[in-house]
Structure 1
Amino acid sequence: MKQYTLLLLIVIINLSCSKNQNLGQAAITEINSYNQKDSYFPHDCKTESELVDKMFELKKGEDIITINNYTDNGLNGHYITLKLNSKLEIFEAYYSEFTDVDDGSKTFFEIDSVDLKLNSNPFNSEKVIGYYSIYLTQYYLAGKLKKEGMKDDITKLEFRGKFKPCKN
């Protein structure tokens, strides 16, 4: 059983983290409508809670920008990382989600592509606002729920998110 769990973990990590491939190109565009209600999940100060200190984090390296989005309401949540090079190409992306329900099933994701729009170049600005769509493939393993009629499944999904820094 331990060997199966270790093998499953290795497969999940390899499929969940799409590395060293061009997953998309960030576009610099004017963004004036962040605060309006739309279909993009917000990652900002208004949605932070006792469980989440920072829903949005921007880390700058010399040639790499890392954007982290995270949420956790105590019952479920998600974690997203996008890495951009100096040409604003998205070369690495990670998406995972979690729940407090442990029913024996497993879900993991492979990122196919990312559409990212930014209000400014993150290498030159501290006040970066962004919208993104992550196109991914979800792999659902029913596990012990197969006994109850559930089946393993592969589904194409889109996750929409947006982020902005907190005012200091």
Structure 2
Amino acid sequence: MEERVQGNKCILCMFRFVNLFLIVIGLGVIAAGIYVCIDDSSFNWYNGSFIGLGLGIIIVSIIGHKSRFSQGGMTFYCLLLLLTTLAMVGITIGIIVYSDFSNSIGESNANAVRYSLVGACAVMIGAFVLGLWYRNSIKWANFYNDHDPKRKLINMPEVTPKTDKRREEMNSKYAQLRNK
């Protein structure tokens, strides 16, 4: 079984924290979609996009947690996170521009949702940059793991000294001389 290689531990700690925060953001986006749906008493495009995007963010976060040892998995995670972030930015711009959104749930609630979405977009962009950074540290960790000369020496078979009759005879004579 091949040994798992981690990237930089500090970046891994930040990456795991941001991934947990992405789950909270996903749950918050789902809750915002349900709240807007109940408050508006209808199911419009922005309600469905909130709920779908929240589920997407949670799934991407789980994929990021499970692929933290794999360079290919981190590449896939970063690609999905980039697509999800672009969708989030698009929906946020749509909600900001869509004037009927304020009329349906009230100006203060609409502003709270808009600012929350802008903050979530900022966190998702930060998670994307951190994911790329951690992916790069995995790449270098794999390189150093494969090209470490000390690892090759550790895996070499243990060398046993050759013993022959002449060597045993010399050792016994020296032992006799030392004892005298």
TM-score range, shorter chain: under 0.3
Name the TM-score, length of structure 2 as normaliser.
Answer: 0.24
Name the TM-score, length of structure 1 as normaliser.
Answer: 0.26
